[in-house]
Structure 1
Amino acid sequence: MDIPLLRLRDGNQIPLDVGDTKSNQSLVDLIRAAIEKGFYHLDCAEMYGTEEEVGIAIKESGVPREKLFFTNKVAQGIGDIEAAIDQGLEKMQTDYFDLYLIHIPFFAKSEDDFQRAWKTMEEIQKLGKARSIGVSNYLRPHIEATLKGATSPPVINQIEYHAYLQRGDNYVAWLQENDIQVGSFKGLTPAFRAPDGPLREPLARIAKAHDATEAAVLISWIIQNNVVAVTTPTRLDRLNEYAQALKMKLTEDEMREITDVGATYHFRTSWGEHFEEDNRS
C-alpha cells in the first residue's frame, strides 16, 4: 500500500498513523490486521494502557522492526521520563521508538517546567531510545516556552484537528512555518461525533461523488492539508476506509468547501475543561 510520508525537521519521515485506545485481545487482532494491510505506523501512549497488546500484535505479525514506525507518548510518567520510556520499550518489545511525545502540556506550572522536561526528551534522543521527539496537545505559548530552551526542537505537535476545530489564530500554519509537523487526532469528528453539523450534506455529496465513505473524505482532507492523520480504527472495515482515503484526491473546490463550511461550527472533543466554550485555540 502506498502510504504518504511527511518529512520531519530532523530528516525522518512519518506515515499515516493507526492509533489505539482500548486494551483487549480484539485490539491485538485489529493491530495485527492493520500491519498485514500495510499500515506500519502504530500510535500508542502510556495513558492508553495498550502498549503490551500492541507489542504482542507486532511480534505476531512477523514484520521486521525496521519496516515499522512506533509512536509513544508520556503523561503519567512526566516526572521521570527516562523511566517511562524504558517501561514503554519493554512493554512493546522494542529497543527504540521512532517518535516519542510529551502527551499533554498541563503538567507544567512555568516555562522552566517545559524546558526541564524537554531537556530530558533531548537526552533520551541522544541515547537512541527515540529517533524523533515531539509534543502533543501543546498550544502556541507551550511551544514558545519549550523552544526557548531547546537544542533539538519538537518535530511534531499532535493535536485535535478536524474541520470543526481548525485551530484559531493560524496556529496550524504557524507550526508548519516553524517546521513543526502537525498530527491530527479525532479527525473523523464531523462524521461521528457531530454528525448533525453543517458539513452533513457536503460530506454526503462529496463522498458519493468519489464512491467513498465520509470518513475517507475527512481523512483525505487532513492528508491534503499536509497534516499527519492519526486514526483509531475499532473495526476491520474501518481500515478499508483509510485505504480508500489514500487513493482519493479531493478537488480544490471540495477542499475549500469542507474548510469554509467547517469553520462556521465549533466542536471540541478533548481536554475541554482547559478551554472556554468557544475557544478555538
Structure 2
Amino acid sequence: MEYVNLKGARVPALGLGTWQLSGAQCAEVVRAGLAMGYRHVDTAQAYGNEEQVGEALADSGIPRDDIFLTTKVWYERIGDGELQRSVDESLRKLRTDHVDLLLIHWPNPKFPLGESLQALSDVKAAGKARNIGVSNFPTALLKDAVERHKADLLCNQVEYHPFLSQRPVLEFARSHDMMVTAYSPIARGEAATHPVLTRIGEKHGKSAVQVTLRWLIDQSNVAALPKASGEKHLRSNFEIFDFRLDADDRAEIDSLRGDRRLVNPGWAPAWDAA
C-alpha cells in the first residue's frame, strides 16, 4: 500500500468505495476487501449502508486503528446540533467511537458555512472524528472555508477521473496542505474501454482500469476510491502497486482531461471551469 501523509494523518492512497452497495452484499464486499489488504473504507449516511460497513469492520478482526474509516454527513443535516446528532447515529451504526475522516457530503447554502464547519470542528474536538473535511466543494467554497473560516480541513472528496479536469481544486488543495480523494475514479466504467488507457495498459501488462488508478495515486496529495461489487474487481483494483507509469504515459493520460462530469445533481454548487 502507498499512503498520503498530511497533517499527521496517514491515509491509504487506495480505498474501498461503498456507494450503491447495500445489505449482505455490502458487508461481504467490505469483509473481502479487508481480508485482501484494503485499509481505507469510505461510506456515507446517504448510502444507507453504514450498518453493513460496521458489521464487516467488527467481523474482520483487524484492529480499529489499522483501518482508515470515512463517513459523510448528508447535506440536509449540516446545521449545528443536527450535524452532531447525525454523527452519533453514524457511529452507532458503524460500531465505533470515532471515524478517521468526517466530511460534509455536499455544500448547502441553506446553512451558514461557518456554522457547519464549527459543528464539524466540535465533533473533532469531542474525539469522534480524527480529521474533518468536505466533499463536492469547488475552489470558491474551499477558499471561504479555509481562508475566511480558518477550518483545518484534511480533504476535499470530488469526482475525479481521466476525463474530468479538477486542476483548480487540486492546486488549491496542495497549496493549503490538503488532499483530494477521487470518487468515480474510473468514470463509471468509461475508463475500462478507453483506447488510450487500454494501450498503455497493454504496455505494462495491466488493464485500463489499473492504469487509471495508478495515474490517480501517482499524483501528489491524491487518493482514489474505486467501488467493486465482488472479489474479482476488488483484487484487480488492488493490484496496482507492482508497476509504474512513465512520463510519457502520464502526459498522454493528462491530455484526456476535460469536462466530462458524471455527478451533477440539482443541489450541486457552481463548479470550477475545466
Question: Matches of residues 1-281 of structure 1 in structure 2 within 5 Å?
Answer: 3-8=1-6, 10-15=7-12, 16-21=14-19, 22-75=21-74, 76-79=76-79, 80-105=82-107, 107-109=108-110, 113-167=112-166, 170-189=168-187, 192-193=189-190, 200-226=194-220, 227-260=222-255, 262-263=256-257, 265-271=258-264, 273=266, 274=268, 280=273
Partners of 1:124 and 1:54 in 2: CA distance: 21
Partners of 2:272 and 2:4 in 1: CA distance: 29
Q: Give a deviation string over 1:72-125, Cα, whole Å, max 9, x none.
A: 1001422311101100000000010011000101x1247xx1111001111111
Partners of 2:191 and 2:207 in 1: CA distance: 16
Partners of 2:228 and 2:169 in 1: CA distance: 27
Does structure 2 conserve the Cα–Cα contact (< 8 Å) formed by 1:159 and 1:182?
yes
Partners of 2:135 and 2:202 in 1: CA distance: 34
Partners of 1:83 and 1:47 in 2: CA distance: 15
Q: Check 1:67–1:95 CA distance in 2 against 1; reply closer, same or farther (3 A cut).
A: same
5+ residue gaps, structure 1, are none
Q: Secondary structure at the match of 1:246?
A: coil
Query: 1:154, CA displacement in angstroms?
Result: 1.0
Query: 1:232, CA displacement in angstroms?
Result: 1.1
Q: Give a deviation string over 1:222-274, Cα, whole Å, max 9, x none.
A: 001121111211121111222221222101100000011x12x4311112544
Does structure 2 conserve the Cα–Cα contact (< 8 Å) formed by 1:165 and 1:280?
no
The TM-score normalised by the length of structure 2 is 0.91
The TM-score normalised by the length of structure 1 is 0.89
> Which segment drifts farther, 129-138 or 207-216?
207-216
Alignment root-mean-square deviation, CA:
2.0
Q: Check 1:267–1:74 CA distance in 2 against 1; reply closer, same or farther (3 A cut).
A: same
Partners of 1:184 and 1:268 in 2: CA distance: 13
Q: Secondary structure at the match of 2:123?
A: helix
Q: Secondary structure at the match of 1:193?
A: helix
Tell me which amino acid in the other structure corresponds to 1:104: W
Does structure 2 conserve the Cα–Cα contact (< 8 Å) formed by 1:194 and 1:267?
no
